[in-house]
Amino acid sequence: MERLHTSAALGAAVRARRQELGLSQDDLAVAIGVSRRVIGFLERGKETVQLDIAFAAARALGMDLGYEIRGSSRA
């Protein structure tokens, strides 16, 4: 699994997957109920894109955005 540490990396991954599936930005925008402009912002890594939109785009593209806990807070 590729690790994404920045909004730019997430945007690049979304763009790559969308293109891999042969979808346009318009196609993805319609699928998740946003404008094409918002998809452009997401793909360019604009940090003000809402997290729920990023998750919706990932789901629509069959991507899994997981998390990993590093270290331990146990004493």
Report the C-alpha gap between 20 and 9 in whole angstroms: 16
pLDDT of residue 22: 98
How confident is the model over 21-30, as a mean pLDDT? 98
Report the C-alpha gap between 35 and 39 in whole angstroms: 7
Type of residue at 26: D
Buried b (16+ CB within 10 A) or exposed e, 17-32: bbeeeebebeebbeeb
Taking only the tens place, the pLDDT of each residue in 27-71 is 999 999 999 999 999 999 999 999 999 999 999 999 988 887 887
Confidence of residue 1 (pLDDT cuts 50, 70, 90): low
Look up the pTM and report it: 0.86
pLDDT of residue 66: 81
Candidates 75, 43, 41, 46; CA nearest to 61 is 43
